[in-house]
Structure formats: structure tokens, C-alpha cells
Amino acid sequence: MGLTLPGEQPPASGAEHPDHGSLDPADNRTRSSVITARAAHTFEPVGRSVAAARAFVRDTLQGWGFGDVVDDAVVLTSELVTNAVVHAGTAAEVVCLRSGDGVRIEVSDRYPEREIPLQSGGVSMGSPDREGGRGLQLCAALASRWGVEYSPAHKHVWFRLDLPERQVGTRTAGPSVSTELLPLADERVRVAVIQIDSEGAVSAWNDDAQELFGYPAKQIIGKPLTDYAAWPHTPGTSTGIAEALRLSRWEGSYGIRAADGRVVPVYASHLRVRDPQGEPSTVCLLVRDDERAVLATPQRGAAPESRHRADGQGTDPFETFIGSPAPDDLDGLLQRTVERSRDMLDGDAAFLLLATDDETELEVRATTGLPSARQRFARVPVDTGSGRYGTARMPAVHEDLSAVPGAVPLLNGTGMRSVVTVPLKVEGRLTGSLGVAAEGAGRYSNEEALRLQFAADRIALAVESARLGELERLRRGSLSVLVEASDLLAGTLDRDQTLALMAQMTVPTLATWCAVYTIADTASEPYLSYVLHEDEERIDGLKALLGRIDPPEPVPTPGARIWPAPARAAHEAALEASVRSLDDEPHHLGSGIGSTLTTAASVGGETVVLPLVARNRVIGMLVLGKPSEDHFRQENLELAEDRSRRAALALDNSRLYSERMAISQSLQRSLLPPDMPEVPGVEVEVIYRAAGEGNEVGGDFYDLFTIPDGAYGFAIGDVCGTGPEAAAVTGLARHALRLLAREGYSGPAVLERLNNAILDEGERSRFLTLLYGELRPQEDGSALLKVVCAGHPLPLRLRQDGSVEAAAEPQPLLGVMDDLELYEQTVRLEPGDVLLCVTDGITERREGSRMLGDDGLAEVLKGCTGLTAGAVAARVMRAVERFAADSPSDDMAILTMRVPEPQRN
């Protein structure tokens, strides 16, 4: 029982326009329709949704048998969906409603900011030349009735297309013709009727199917049809036999493998139905391919008034050959071209190849009737010899390929005997080659070559225009990809991460697998640093295979070059594994041969090497690979070459950064004491944290060393700035302190001589804050210190009672003025006392406008009573780190000394 759509009355907030958009309110007639089927789909607000909506409406109406109104419905739907997803920027819902005398299609979008238009006496359609807003004009021109509904949340446009009146029971009809013009058929035309259940298995098989293919019903029922179908799988389409069986209606050619092993070409008509319980199945009617007229739907002719242009000229020959509407994408145009060429010459196969930019090779881009999945993007040379038959620049007819093996490499092993090929030329330049082949010998002559050349001349310009458009889109996409790649590579200086990014930007967009070889220096051999495959389970096998062969030569010549070694090694490994398996007992066979064969299949295609050149030196190679019998497109190789240049520079930058970091870390370690001596009777602890990423040498340093008379010298300082200049002053200060102190100089004398040495550095000098002291443990358990604080944060003394006081007075810093007069101060640490010495990275720790400062440090120290020297240093560092959320911007050093309390018995 169908649904009834109430009258298609115009709502209060909308407008209905019957009879091609008439706006006379008196003409708003009501009409009731019984809705017998409904189909709906929602499309996302992206550009590709427009094409998807066109396909949805076309498939739906074809499935309902409404082929007469398909083209108008597709045009109107395309405009309305474009308005929704492109101009309004919202999702679009498309609903198709079928009735006995026509179809109604509704397109809705949601645009809450749209104002509800006020009703007025007239409606302005606007200019037909503007980019948007043409949908309603087309509705007015093409639809039987149409209307618009507005609300604050959505806009709803609908149109109705009435079916043309036909004689009762007539679907299509043709004129009476003479007997000799009727299509040929066998004396007994057999129509195989096969029914396929929802799982894809054969559920019905009639007697004609048994006669055509040789299988009795009991042998084939219950088995998948895909086990017997030889599907052409043409390029430019993703539809296979399994997908075709799920469509509401489908017509086309494929092959069925007969019981005797032959492939029987058939023409099929599929219809999707459902039983009373709602279970779907597909009914397939099949005839021999040369009897396709029995099932093929007649081509819809152009309307009488549209067969001639307004200026009196005939229809465009291109549209006559390709059909209207012409495909709007290159692959679709090429595929329709080969199919029409095959049908025009009644061939068994057809192919179209496009020339490379230098016109030296032809690339297979579309085939029908050939194993295209294996041969697509394969390349053949333009000129294979001298004369007319050795070049693709001239038409050629081969009556029997078995007499000239290899004359058409693309057809080797396909069973084709005769072939005709013609060039596609634009302004005298070769842009491609079109060919049609047949299994029988002597099928083609110069007459067929002329017919095919005429068709090639009609479509050459359109093909070239579509190819250039595809290249432009590819290059624009490549630019965005290259910008993204550059941003990703510039965002890291880690070598391992750079290698991973290089591989991930290549697989699977440009290649099935890739490997990166790196070269440390001119004397080093290439090293396999990274391997990636789109199937992670194959990475180990691929890595093992590449590890067994010599790496490619590091040639600095730009561009990709073929590297046959991986495919050859994979083939040899697979052959050896197969031979070994023949010698083993069946129960001894493991998964090793399976893994070897899988690796061989994944590496058996084309492999190319791109040099990684940075700063005029080859630093590595990027290897790209395809699976068995697959090839690279020139556009992809050019994009890979651009990426390799950027990746090489990023990889070299990461190498330089790593070397700089290693040098800085080594220099930083050299500026700090290798070990700390044990001081009897005194606990000593040091914590040092360098700021930055590790590639800058810090200016903070500390030291503790022995001096004569059983004493120990200690120092903690901070040189202004970072980097090599600061490191030079740091090294000078640390080594001068040790040398002068061990010569017996007092603290002030040591610092005064160090000050002169710094000033002698001239422009390379840096000022230095330094706390220097001498530590002498005493027999009574205390420790005597003599300290000089030259511009450095004052040392703090923590007593046992929890009080904190400065243990020295401030004096001038070093490296600024001559003739310093410094003096030392004596401090005695009693048992339990702690002396805390820090650099300004501790006291100047900031959080916004707050700073820890000397007072804040003293408060932290007050809570450390009774702790060991190590615990005091750890608590201070923890308090400093928690003071602010940001990472420290300056080096931090802490030196603590504590006289332990005597142990009680």
C-alpha cells in the first residue's frame, strides 16, 4: 500500500510554482499522488557531496525505471545541493518520492541565520550569470511543478517531474526496419536466469544457464557467483561484481567461467528485488555478449528540439561519440572513451594511453576487456622501431598479432589477435594513443582505422583539457601537501622523528613501502636507518630482505632512478623458499615460505631511489617501492622528489643539532668537577640543573677540591650569559681557582688574580659572580670556613634552633673593575648547622610578578632543621620548581654543607 502525499499544497511560509514556475496564484492547482517508493540520503557540507548526490538520484531513478527524467532530475538536484553544501555551508538531505505518473525530489538544508523572505506580488530570479542562485531558475525551466518552504531553521525546495505519456504497456519502442538490419542471434536464443541471495550465493539456476555455461544446477546452487565471474574491473570505477549485485539495477558486460575452463562473454541485466518477507535478492538475466540487443536498454535519443543548435549547426561530434552529459573527471572520460570505441568497432577489448610530458613514453590510463588492475599506469615506449608500425604517432592495423609477437606489448598474453591503434594529437603534438583489439584474426582494416581516427580527433582536445585540469588539481594538492610536510619537518630536530616523518609522508600516499638510507660522512657506507610498509606485518620481512642486499649507490644526480635489486632479491628468495618446500614433508612446512612469498609480492614491483642532498652533499637515499607488477606515475615521482629535498634538509638539520648538542653536553661536563672528595666530619651535597634544550652551555658552575694543610676549597659561581664565550670564562675560573688555591694564596688573593685574568680576555671577558671559601674541619666536631662573596647571592646559615642568617657580606663582582680590594670572613659551623649556597637561578625564580628572592629562600630553609645535607638540597630544589609552573629559564646550582651532630650512645 503506497503513501499519499497530501495535495502538494504550498505552505504558508513558502511558494509553489506549477507549470514551469508560473507565479500566478490562480494557477496553483492541487494534485494528489500515491507515493509507491521513497529513497533518502543526507550529504555532508563538502564539495564531493554534489557528485555523490547526482549519483544517488541517478541510481535511484534508473532503479525505478524512470530513465526518461533522469537527466533533468540530476541537473536540478546538482544545483540545489550545490546551493546547500557550498553556498549555505550546511548538510543537505535529498528525498526521492515515486508515484505512478512521475517523481518528486526534495532538497533541504539547515541555515538558521537565513531570514524568512516576505511574500510579495513577484519573485525575482536574479541574473543567470551569477555563481549561485540558479537552482530556482532551473526548476522554473525544467520541472512540472516546484515549490520552496522557509522556516527559521531550514530551507526546503522540491520539484516534480512528470513522466511522458506512452501507449499502455509500452516501455520503449523503435521503428520497423528491414530484416537485414536486425541484430544477429543464434537459432535458439538462450537467456540464463540466475537469482543471487543476500549473501551473494546462487539460489536459482535455469536450464538455459546450464546450456550456456555447462554447470548443472545442483553443482552451482549455494556457491558465490563471484567464484565464476571474470569481472573486468575497469579503471576509473570502483564497482566490482559484488558491488553491482547490490545495486537496484545494473546493465553491462562481463565473463562467466564455463565448466570447460573457457570464459564466456555475457551481457547481463541485474534487478534487485525483495520477497514478501522483506529478504533482498538479485535477479540476473544473461545472454551471450554478441546477443546483447536482447537485453540492452536502447539509448535515449535527444529531444527533437535539441538535436540542432539555435544557429542551425548539428550536434557536437564529441557529444555524439561520448554521449551527454560527458563525464566531468578524466578517468570517467577515458573509461567511456574506451567503452564507446570497443562498441563502435565491435571489439573484445580497448585501451587508451596518455603520453608523458616528454612524449617518449605512453602510460596506460584506461582499458576494457583487459586485466587492467595489473596494467594500469604501466608504460610503453612511443617509438619501438622504424616505420609506420614502430611508432604510436601513426595509425596502425595488425591483422594477426601471432605473426608479429610483441608488436603491441600491452596485449601480450591477453589472447588478442587483431588490433587497430590511432594517435591522439592536439595541435600536432602527440597526447595519447587509442586502440581496439579482437580475439579473432583479420577483424580490422584501414576502414576501421579511419573510423577510430575520426573518433580520436573528436575527443583528443577534451582528453587533453581534462588531463591538464587533473595535473593542475594534483599540483595544487601537492603544494598543500608540501607545505604541510615542511611544517612537520620544521617542527622537530630529533633525527629519529625526522626519519619517521619522512617515511609516513610517503607511505601510502606515494608508495606501498619505503626505506631511508643515511650516510654519516663521505667515508661511510649507506646505512639502512628506517623501513616502513603500509602493512605493518610486512615491515620485518622487508627489513630483513633489504639487509641482505647491497645498498644503492649514493649518486647526487637529481631525479628518481630505477633500482632493480630488491625485486630481484625478492624473486630469488621466493624461488629458494619454494624449492625448499618441495623437499620438506608436508607436516614440516611452516609459515616461513608464506612470509617469504608475501614479502616478495610486496617488493616485486617497481622500486626507485631518490637522493637526499643537503648542503651539496649526499646524506642518504629515499627508496620507494610498489607491489608486484605495479609502476609509479610521473606526477607522483615529481612530488616525491620535492618531498625528498625538504626531507634531506630537515634530516641534515637534525644531524647538525645532534652534533651541537653532543658537543655542548661534553663541554658542559668538562666545566664541572668529575667527582667530589669526601670531607671528614662534613656532609656535602650538590644539585645542578641546566636550563634550555641541552644545546647551550650554561654559565653556572661549582667545585670542591683539596688544598694544602688538610683544608678544602669550594666555589659556586655564575658567568654572565651562555654559550661558548661564557664557557671560556667558566673554564678559566674553575681551573684558575684550583691552581691558585693550591699554591697557598688566600681567598681574596685568589679572587683578585682571577679578576685580572678575566679582564685580560678583553672583549671576550664576562663578569662573574663567585662565592669562594676554604673549609677546615675542627677536632671538636665543628667546621671553620673562610668565605669571600664577590657579587654572588649570600650564603645562608641554618642553626639548630631554626634561625637563618646570612653567612657573609656582599662584595664587588669580578670582571668589571681593576684593583679590587676583597676580604674574607670567618664562619664557624657548629654540629647541626647547615650552610646553603645557591646561584641566582634559585633566588630569581619567577611566577608572573612574584620572585622567590632571598627572603623566600630563607623561609624554605627554616623548614629544613634536622635534615641531612642531601635532604636540604632536595627540599630547596623541590620548592623552587613548585614556585612557578613554567620551566626554568636559568641554570640552577645548589651547594649544601652540614656538620652532623655527634651520635649519642
pLDDT at 808: 92
pLDDT band for position 602 (cuts 50, 70, 90): low
422 versus 31: which is more confidently predicted? Answer: 422
Q: What is the pLDDT of residues 608-625, one digit of tens each?
A: 888 888 877 887 888 888
Instruction: Enter the pTM of the model.
Output: 0.40
Q: Which three cell numbers stand for residue 605?
A: 614491483
Q: What is the pLDDT of residues 814-834, one digit of tens each?
A: 988 888 889 999 999 999 999
Q: Which of 840, 825, 828, 836 is nearest to 748 (CA)?
A: 825
pLDDT at 27: 39
Question: What secondary structure, in 3-state letters, does 220-248 show?
Answer: HCCCEHHHCEECCCCCCCCCCHHHHCCCC
pLDDT at 706 exceeding the cut of 80: yes
Query: Which of the given ranges, 228-237, 244-253, 396-405, has the highest pLDDT on average?
Result: 396-405
Burial of residue 598, with CB atoms counted within 10 A of its CB: 0-12 exposed, 13-18 middle, 19 or more buried: middle
Between β-strands 280-288 and 263-274, what pairing exists: parallel, antiparallel or unpaired? antiparallel
Q: Which of 791, 202, 888, 732 is nearest to 878 (CA)?
A: 888
Place of cell 611566577: 847
Question: What secondary structure, in 3-state letters, does 144-194 show?
Answer: CEEEEEECCCCEEEEEEEECCCCCCCCCCCCCCCCHHHCCCCCCCCCCEEE
Q: Which three cell numbers stand for residue 597?
A: 612469498
pLDDT at 857 exceeding the cut of 70: yes
Q: What does DSSP assign to residue 813?
A: P
DSSP-based three-state secondary structure for 712: strand
Packing angle, helices 446-490 and 495-504, rounded to 10: 160
pLDDT band for position 31 (cuts 50, 70, 90): very low
pLDDT band for position 666 (cuts 50, 70, 90): low
Question: What's the whole-number mean pLDDT along residues 76-94?
Answer: 80
Q: What is the pLDDT of residues 288-331, one digit of tens each?
A: 888 888 887 765 444 444 444 444 444 455 655 666 556 667 77
Q: Which of 708, 709, 702 is nearest to 896 (CA)?
A: 702
CA distances from 683 to 382, 500, 804 (A): 86, 48, 19
Question: What's the whole-number mean pLDDT along residues 430-452?
Answer: 87
pLDDT at 385: 63
pLDDT at 235: 38
CB 698 within 8 A of CB 690: yes
Give percent above pLDDT 70 in the chain. 75
890 versus 281: which is more confidently predicted? Answer: 281
pLDDT at 216: 94
Beta partners for 362?
Answer: 355, 380
CB 107 within 8 A of CB 91: no
pLDDT band for position 777 (cuts 50, 70, 90): very high
Q: Which three cell numbers stand for residue 840?
A: 641566582
Q: What is the mean pLDDT of the chain?
A: 77
pLDDT at 299: 53
Helices and strands counted in the chain (H then E): 21, 36
DSSP-based three-state secondary structure for 659: helix
Q: Residue 245 and residue 232: Cα distance in Å, rounded?
A: 15
Query: Which of the given ranges, 321-330, 438-447, 578-587, 726-735, has the highest pLDDT on average?
Result: 438-447
Count of CB atoms situated within 10 Å of the CB of 866: 12
CB 712 within 8 A of CB 734: no
CA 127 to chain centre: 41
pLDDT band for position 1 (cuts 50, 70, 90): very low
pLDDT at 314: 47
* Length of the chain in terms of residues written: 905
CA distances from 613 to 499, 532, 557 (A): 15, 21, 9
Q: Residue 148 and residue 729: Cα distance in Å, rounded?
A: 82
* Close Cβ partners of 740 (under 8 Å, ≥ 6 residues apart): 749, 750, 753, 754
CA distances from 660 to 518, 620, 738 (A): 19, 20, 29
Question: What's the whole-number mean pLDDT along residues 199-214?
Answer: 93
CA distances from 850 to 844, 880, 881, 883 (A): 9, 13, 14, 9
Q: What is the pLDDT of residues 345-366, one digit of tens each?
A: 888 888 988 887 667 788 888 8
Amino acid at the residue 191: V
Count of CB atoms situated within 10 Å of the CB of 553: 12
pLDDT at 57 exceeding the cut of 80: yes
pLDDT at 515 exceeding the cut of 50: yes
pLDDT at 477: 53
Q: Which of 877, 899, 897, 904 is nearest to 888 (CA)?
A: 877
Beta partners for 273?
Answer: 281
Query: CA-CA-CA-CA torsion for 94, 98, 102, 105, nearest 10 degrees?
Result: -10
Buried b (16+ CB within 10 A) or exposed e, 356-393: eeeeebbbbbbbbbbebeebbbbbbebeeeeeeeebbe
Does the CA dihedral 44-45-47-49 come out positive or negative? positive
Amino acid at the residue 503: A
Question: What's the whole-number mean pLDDT along residues 494-501?
Answer: 74
